[in-house]
Chains A and B, each alone.
Chain A
């Protein structure tokens, strides 16, 4: 049995541009490496796409100290965008992606608008088909407020990137806001082709040990992910869908087939899987096979038909 029924075309009618992937299941940035790190565990032929580890202009060493904290049904990370930098990515990682024919989104992050523009230009010059912009980074010029939390600065940022990049432009939204609708609207009006959501939630993990009559505190502040954030992600995707007509790639706590259906119901056109890759390194392909089988057995010819059925049946 093939998985041809999972072929997914993310299309932005406004810009008349699309991005085609073998399955709607994409591995989320930071959980899958740069290219073939998971090849031991998955069948690359049943794989949608990889969103690369977040790439910055210069290489970054990441944060010192503890970077991971486990919580109930989730985890907190503060990796600090450790990455090889765009030059090394283009030189060392990109050729492998191309040679192995792996579809990918280049995930980028910057600390100034100029960083993002330069990264977008490099992506454009190298013929990279899809770009996912992480806007949950501190904007150095605006007192380190995140780019992605203010509709005006977000609009300006996406507009600049759009001017430098002709491929399929995806903006990854942060959930750390009181209202995500104006942010989604800003992204669409600035010319993005697609929204991915949600990035991690701000969280603080605290552990208190009592030893030798003393309390010992350990804490890690960072981004919360895992199945515990799914209701937040569903809420946010639902909100975004109400104000945009460009495709939405949904993520946040996806771990099983029924999660895919739930996200489709609120507006998802494709999915990303993050933390769950650590629990089951085969999940991106296993879930694709399971979805394909479900569609076969229940008479859904293609993914669009399934989406339509779920949304109309509500």
Chain B
């Protein structure tokens, strides 16, 4: 059940030139890859959504990885171990895990949910390969099977899909990359599951502020990223 939690920072560390990893100790009991948490960043009006990058039920730790973007993330980076943090969780839907040859693509900070997904796939002994793309060496966040630095994570995608006999692609990152990934998957005739990002207000599906367009049965409908998503079938997304 989704709830409001007051957690405690268990760890905060810099993982690249402009990204941080944070572990939060809380009473959150379950979380699955694709889901996110929505953190209150005081002085900012709206909560900030972050993909869950890891969850350890035994140790009661939820991990997020965030890139410095503005006032919200700057507030987070200055928190210290032991500080309290107010968040809503677990929010949104999840990646549908299938026993297939999986390719995971993380573009930039989009690697965060991919790391969680990879761990779950590994636990289930599902074959997977994580490729992440970063603009430069100092932006690299570790944990992938392959890093593409400087170029585009898209460059060798079709080759990887062929070579590794990929049957499904999971991805998160900037919209422009996600759009291309979903197009590549359509042309290769394989399924893609895409985690979308949008500015959110309520983060629980009531305000309808974070909608994207989906093509469903010859009709275009609005779906909220926070509740109907954040994970959507790439083939259904109507890209802006």
The 0/1 profile, CB within 8 Å of B marked 1, for residues 58-81 of chain A is 000110101111111111010100
A77-B201, A275-B45, A281-B4 are contacts. A67–B210 as well, Cβ < 8 Å?
yes
A37-B204, A62-B208, A67-B208 are contacts. A282–B47 as well, Cβ < 8 Å?
no
A294 within 8 A of B: no
A300 within 8 A of B: no
| Chain B positions within 8 Å of A175 at CB level | none
A278 to B208 alpha-carbon distance, docked (Å): 12
A110 within 8 A of B: no
B47 engages A278 (CB within 8 Å) = yes
| Chain A positions within 8 Å of B210 at CB level | 67-68
| Chain B positions within 8 Å of A82 at CB level | 208, 211, 222
| Chain B positions within 8 Å of A227 at CB level | 45
A277 within 8 A of B: yes
B207 engages A31 (CB within 8 Å) = yes
Residue of A nearest to B3 (CB): A40
Report the interface size class on chain A.
20 to 34
A53 to B222 alpha-carbon distance, docked (Å): 16
Number of interface residues of B (CB under 8 A): 26
B206 engages A33 (CB within 8 Å) = yes
A38 to B205 alpha-carbon distance, docked (Å): 10
A79 engages B209 (CB within 8 Å) = yes
Min CB gap A79→B, angstroms: 5
Min CB gap A81→B, angstroms: 10
A31 engages B202 (CB within 8 Å) = yes
Residue of B nearest to A37 (CB): B206
Contact of A37 among B1, B40, B46, B205 (CB under 8 A): B205
Min CB gap B45→A, angstroms: 5
A73 to B71 alpha-carbon distance, docked (Å): 13
Consensus secondary structure, chain B interface: loop
A31 engages B206 (CB within 8 Å) = yes
A62-B222, A82-B222, A278-B202 are contacts. A68–B209 as well, Cβ < 8 Å?
yes
| Chain B positions within 8 Å of A125 at CB level | none
| Chain B positions within 8 Å of A33 at CB level | 205-206
A2 to B225 alpha-carbon distance, docked (Å): 38
Q: Which of B132-160 contact A (CB under 8 A)?
A: none
A314 to B147 alpha-carbon distance, docked (Å): 68
| Chain A positions within 8 Å of B203 at CB level | 278
Give the interface of B toward A (CB within 8 A).
1-4, 40, 44-47, 88, 199-211, 213, 221-222
Q: Which 3 A-B pairs have the closest CB atoms?
A: A33-B206, A68-B209, A67-B209
26 contacts between A and B (CB under 8 A): A30-B207, A32-B206, A37-B205, A40-B1, A40-B3, A41-B4, A53-B206, A62-B222, A68-B199, A68-B200, A68-B201, A68-B207, A68-B210, A74-B45, A75-B45, A75-B201, A77-B207, A77-B209, A79-B209, A82-B222, A275-B45, A279-B40, A279-B46, A279-B47, A280-B4, A281-B202
